[in-house]
Amino acid sequence: MEFYHLVNKRYSVRGYLSKSIEEEKINYILKVARLAPSAANRQPWKIYIIKDKNLKNKLCEAYPRSWLNEAPIIVVFVGLTDNNWIRNDGKDYLLCDVTIIADYFILAATEVGLGTCYIAAFDEKKVIEALNLPPNEIPLLMTPLGYPKENSIKERKRKEIGEFVVEI
């Protein structure tokens, strides 16, 4: 698939079928995600693939939306605070690195016909508790993963290029 077509095809899905996801697709997505670059190649991340119904319910308490629990899988992207790169001026690149692997994951999911939705506005403490994360693991992003319902597509509004590009 041409890259522009793939990126244009990705949208935030807010409605999922109960259909199971084939392991081959999950493995492909993870194979792609592991190629994501990171600052100083530290790869300061973990990806939690949650299929367990009880655990999914707990994660939905951290972000209570009915469509999140519709998806057969919830994915949590975690940053490892003991392995992140920090620039000389103190700028921490953990969120940047985790966002990149999440992007790779989400684009690979799109390529194989699965839907996702970036979620960052969740209750961090509830996610930490649900996953029983150690102190060095911070949940930064979540996404449902599943086959989109037909009516889940919404129009995306994007700025014109001239609104965000500055040529000097």
For residue 21, the domain's CATH number is: 3.40.109.10
> Model confidence over 130-160: pLDDT tens digits?
999 999 999 999 999 999 998 777 778 889 9
50: closest CA among 111, 121, 130, 114? 130
Domain count within the chain:
1
Q: What is the DSSP string of 102-153?
A: HHHHHHHHHHTT-BB--B--S-HHHHHHHHT--TTEEEEEEEEEBPBPGGG-
- Rounded to 10°, the helix 23-33/94-111 angle is 140
> Model confidence over 77-114: pLDDT tens digits?
999 999 999 999 999 999 999 999 999 999 999 999 99
For residue 166, tell me if it sits in a domain: no
pLDDT for 10 equals: 93
Give mean pLDDT, residues 42-61. Answer: 97
> Model confidence over 114-136: pLDDT tens digits?
999 999 999 999 999 999 999 99
Domain that holds residue 116: 3-152
28: closest CA among 107, 135, 146? 107
Q: How confident is the model at residue 1 (pLDDT cuts 50, 70, 90)?
A: low
Query: Is the CA virtual torsion 142, 148, 153, 159 positive or negative?
Result: positive
Phi, psi of 118 (to 5 degrees): -60, 130
For residue 160, tell me if it sits in a domain: no
> Model confidence over 2-51: pLDDT tens digits?
999 999 999 999 999 999 999 999 999 999 999 999 999 999 999 999 99
For residue 158, tell me if it sits in a domain: no
Tell me which residue has tokens 């690195």.
97
pLDDT for 156 equals: 80
For residue 161, tell me if it sits in a domain: no
pLDDT for 13 equals: 95
For residue 159, tell me if it sits in a domain: no
For residue 56, tell me if it sits in a domain: yes
pTM: 0.95
| Structure token pair of residue 124 | 């961090």
